[in-house]
Amino acid sequence: MVASTMSTRRLWLVTALGTLLAAAGASPVAAQMPTYGVGRAPTAEEIRAWDLTIPPDGRGLPPGSGTAALGKPIFAERCASCHGDEGEDPKYRLLAGRPGPLTPTQLSENIDPLVGGQPVLTIGNFWQYATTLWSYIRRSQPFDEPGTLTADQVYAVTAYLLHVNGIIGEHDVLDARSLPQIRMPNRNGFVPDARPDVGKTAKPRPRAPGPRAPGRIR
C-alpha cells in the first residue's frame, strides 16, 4: 500500500514536471489564446483613419481651412458647454487668458482655480505648437463625440482658440500651409531633456553585476 502510494506520487510529479517543461518550450503561436473566429485584420484605409496624430512640423495635415470667425459658432455649439464662450470657464481647465509665455514671476499670480496650487496653463501661455492643438482637437474633441469634427471645422475651432488667446486675427486663414508657421508665445519655454537615458540619443543603462534571476525581466 505504501509502495503504491509512493509510485502514484512519483508519477504525479513526473507528469507535472513534464507539463511545465512542455509549456516552457511551447512556441509563442501555440501559447496564444484561441481567436474564436471573431474580428479581422484592419485594412490600410482603416489604419489611416485612426492615425490622426500630427507632429509639430504639420506633416500629414489634411486639406481644408478655417478662420476664427467661422470657428466661433462651432465652438459655441460643440465646446462652450464645458469651456465657456471664449474658453474662459475653469470648469474643465481654462483655454484662454493669461497671455504668455508663463514666466517664474507670474506663477504665484496664475494659480489654477480648478485644482489649486498649480499655475494656469492655457493655450496662450503654455502650448508650444499650434499644430499640436489642431491634432488634439481632431482626435479628442468634443469630449462626448471625439473625432466627429470635419477638417474644416477643426481648422476653424483652432483658429478661434488662437484668436481668443490673442495669437492670430479673427479673419486669418488657417490651413495646412499657414498653421505650422504660427509661432506660439511659449515656443521657447521648453528645453531639451538632457538626461542621457531619454530621447533619440539615449544610451542603454548598464546592468547591475551578478547573475540574472531565472524568469526575471530587466
Q: Return per-residue pLDDT of the chain as tens, 218 residues.
A: 444 444 555 556 555 555 554 554 544 554 567 777 888 888 888 887 777 789 999 999 999 999 999 999 999 999 998 898 888 877 777 788 766 666 666 655 555 555 555 667 789 888 999 999 999 999 999 988 998 999 999 999 999 999 999 999 999 999 999 999 999 988 888 777 777 776 666 565 555 554 443 333 33
- The number of domains in the chain is 1
Q: Tell whether 15 is covered by a domain.
A: no
* CATH number of the domain that residue 170 is part of: 1.10.760.10
**88 lies in some domain:** yes
Asked, for residue 211, whether it belongs to a domain, the answer is no
pLDDT at 209: 53
Q: Report the C-alpha gap between 52 and 65 in whole angstroms.
A: 17
- Amino acid 6: pLDDT: 46
Q: Is residue 99 part of a domain?
A: yes
Structure confidence at residue 215 (pLDDT): 39
Domain assignment of residue 75, given as a range: 61-189
pLDDT at residue number 120: 73
